Amino acid sequence: MQKIAPAISVLAGLGENKPQNQAVLDWVHEVELLAKPENIFWCDGSEGENEFLLDQACRQNVLIKLNEKKVPRSYLHRSNPNDVARVEQFTFICTPTKEEAGPTNNWSEPGETYSRLRDLLKGAMSGRTMFVIPYIMGPPDSPITKVGFEITDSIYVVLSMRIMTRMGTVAINRLGRDPKAEWNRGVHSLLDVDPARRFICHFPQDNTIISVGSGYGGNVLLSKKCLALRIGSYLARKQGWMAEHMLILGVESPAGRKHYVAAAFPSACGKTNFAMLIPPRHFKGWKVTTVGDDIAWMQIRDGRIYAVNPENGYFGVVPGTSYKSNPNAMKSIAHDSLYTNVALTDDDDVWWEGKNGAPPEHAFDWRGRDWTPDSKEKAAHPNSRFTTPMRNNPALDSDVEKGEGVPISAIIFGGRRSDTMPLVFQAFDWEPGVYLGATMASETTAAATGAVGQVRRDPMAMLPFCGYNIGDYFRHWLNIGTRLTNPPLIFNVNWFRKGAHGQFLWPGFGDNMRVLKWVIDRCEDSGGAVKSPIGWLPTPNDVDLEELAVEHKCIVELLGIDHKEWQRELTEHKKFFDSLGGVVPEELLRQRENLEARFKH
Ligand code: OXD
Ligand code: MN
């Protein structure tokens, strides 16, 4: 059997970027004594280091170099087939009390958990290289930027972190020498990639993450879900800001007026596509630009919300990505990218279901097995991913590096709902908007292990990512509202409503610009709407539907609400709140009653 993560021989002049901060040095030494690696590689994030590590990864068969002409400087990684998605059932919040983790998180007592993890990590890196990755989350000059260090025995993690974060010397410099400075400790080991020994554990009070037994991005790129969302949300509440599972996009009108919008959709529900949207021909002169595609860190200044994208790259779902669905993503992943669990063609190109053009006559599927169009199984895993630098995105917003962030005019919630939720509506105010986010639901996807297609409540798309008690999280949102003099308007969208025959009613993708335009019109006080029990609803005349080949009756269905479906929905809201066992703030319980009452009048 192939050895997992054998040590690399470190070239002179590489892997020596030790920070001066004694707290970091002590912690690395402690992990070294425990995990007993063969050697330590201190990453600096340089180009030379990257080239060296890519070469090593290819020699170890961790990466396969793709066709240089077709996808320059790009590689394929195949994960262990038992390790293809986030594992929510093995993800823990280890707070001193269970109550701090709250009803939506798996809780584990910190002392016991540290001790169990220490046992698992004992000698875990023997014969392996221990990489130390310094990184920052956020633009280098932002006041809310955070420093993290991730220790890992996976070269794939190092190469991915180099794309996903600003990594290396920039972080060492930002941290400086103060041993009391705030920074996140992350330890990752593949162990033997056995689901029985797979745990993703967060210790918010210690600003520490320990992840073992997986190599899948969402479990092991500790900057992303673990730091930027779980630990991030905990720090954000304590420090008075917000860490949210949201894309951030800019919309500029032909007259040059620009707004920024943040949108929370659950995993694999189209955040990347929305963030990179290209307006249809009819919207000539309109421009959509991307600040971020997954995570927003937001602060309040002058009574307004300002957002930064803490990441430096995109870790997106590949299947379904095409020049039709997302041309900017296709251009981004055409070079300098890592692919995970897609198919490999005979000429070393990548392929996946939903890519432009006919399927190849023969390929190797995501597990490396022969595949033809007649094969029963998919060539690419439904949760196969690309990892690509945000610099590759032709629609990258010019203010993406702005440390103070971009001002947010609107927040959009949304999920995959076959029924009930109209294409778009606007909450009456901040508090009903928080209720809207708190009761959000979506059909589950392949981004996490478990059943796909089941409706589950996913408040603010943060169910798997809120690092503390969800009741306190709702309270934090309500408190933020009281500090805003110029709050963003709050909306809900649903691109996935289906008709009586199970067909999608809305074309989605670029045509979502029509919905975005209504959102912007509302922000500018110019969009029409009618009052409904759930909020402000556009009529077909309020949304620009020119040059859209969708029947009028579908539009009416998309924009309408069915009172019977909403009775059921209200019952589900109540069930959800009840299931949280008394942590839901009074204000939101009252919002539910108000909503119910509005349906009766
Ligand atoms: C992601 C996720 O990878 O939400 O962004 O699972
Ligand atoms: Mn996500």
What are 451-482's pLDDT values in tens digits?
888 899 999 999 999 999 999 999 999 999 99
Residue 67: what pLDDT? 98
Residue 448: what pLDDT? 85
Cα–Cα distance list, 582 to 102, 106, 472, 477, 575 (Å): 11, 18, 11, 17, 12
Contact 344, 356 (CB under 8 A): no
Mention every residue, 6+ apart, whose C-beta is less than 8 A from residue 108.
Answer: 92, 93, 94, 201
Residue 465: what pLDDT? 98
Kindly give the number of the ligand 1 atom that is closest to the alpha carbon of 266. Answer: 4
Q: Find the mean pLDDT for residues 85-101.
A: 97
Residue 449: what pLDDT? 86
Residue-level length of the chain:
601
Contact 130, 151 (CB under 8 A): yes
Q: Which bin fits 278, alpha (ψ -120 to 50), beta or left (φ > 0)?
A: beta
391 CA to middle of ligand 2, Å? 19
Residue 2: what pLDDT? 66
Residue 348: what pLDDT? 98
pLDDT tier at 562 (50, 70, 90 boundaries)? very high
* 218 Cβ below 6 A of ligand 1: yes
266 CA to middle of ligand 2, Å? 7
Residue 12: what pLDDT? 78
Residue 452: what pLDDT? 87
d(CA 9, CA 38): 10
Say which ligand is closest to the CA of 315: 1
Nearest CA to 231 among 185, 191, 277? 185
In SS3 terms, 125-140 reads as: CCCCEEEEEEEEECCC
289: which DSSP letter? E
Kindly give the number of the ligand 1 atom that is closest to the alpha carbon of 315. Answer: 3
Q: Which amino acid is at 19?
A: P
172 CA to middle of ligand 1, Å? 27
402 class by beta-carbon count within 10 Å (0-12 exposed, 13-18 middle, 19+ buried): middle
Is beta strand 287-292 parallel, antiparallel or unpaired with respect to 247-252? Answer: antiparallel
* 294 Cβ below 6 A of ligand 1: yes
Residue 453: what pLDDT? 87
pLDDT in tens, 497-520: 999 999 999 999 999 999 999 999
267 CA to middle of ligand 1, Å? 5
Say which ligand is closest to the CA of 444: 1
Say which ligand is closest to the CA of 387: 1
Q: Find the mean pLDDT for residues 374-379.
A: 97
d(CA 356, CA 25): 49
Cα 302-398-415 angle, rounded to 5 deg: 75
8: which DSSP letter? P
Residue 385: what pLDDT? 97
* 86 Cβ below 6 A of ligand 1: yes
pLDDT at 450 over 90: no
In SS3 terms, 307-342 reads as: EECCCCEEEEECCCCCCCCCHHHHHHCCCCCEEECC
pLDDT tier at 242 (50, 70, 90 boundaries)? very high
Residue 11: what pLDDT? 82
Mention every residue, 6+ apart, whose C-beta is less than 8 A from residue 454.
Answer: 443, 444
- Return the active site residues: 269
Residue 451: what pLDDT? 85
In SS3 terms, 212-269 reads as: ECCCCHHHHCCHHHHHHHHHHHHHHHHHCCEEECCEEEEEECCCCCEEEEEEECCCCC
* 50 Cβ below 6 A of ligand 1: no
Q: Which amino acid is at 547?
A: E
Contact 198, 212 (CB under 8 A): yes
pLDDT at 1 over 70: no
* 433 Cβ below 6 A of ligand 1: no
Nearest CA to 542 among 561, 555, 551? 555
Q: Count other C-beta atoms under 10 Å from residue 503's C-beta.
A: 8
Mention every residue, 6+ apart, whose C-beta is less than 8 A from residue 59.
Answer: none
Q: Find the mean pLDDT for residues 323-328.
A: 96
* 230 Cβ below 6 A of ligand 1: no
Question: What three-state secondary structure class fits 29?
Answer: helix
463 CA to middle of ligand 1, Å? 12
Average pLDDT of the residues of the chain: 97
pLDDT tier at 47 (50, 70, 90 boundaries)? very high
d(CA 437, CA 144): 24
Residue of the CA atom closest to atom 4 of ligand 1: 267
Q: Find the mean pLDDT for residues 425-449.
A: 95
Near ion ligand 2, which residues have CB within 5 Å? 267, 294
Residue of the CA atom closest to atom 1 of ligand 1: 267
Residue 598: what pLDDT? 97
Nearest CA to 19 among 182, 178, 252? 178
Residue 131: what pLDDT? 98
pLDDT in tens, 526-549: 999 999 999 999 999 999 999 999
Contact 83, 174 (CB under 8 A): no
Residue 3: what pLDDT? 82
Kindly give the number of the ligand 1 atom that is closest to the alpha carbon of 217. Answer: 3
Question: What three-state secondary structure class fits 49?
Answer: helix
218 CA to middle of ligand 2, Å? 8
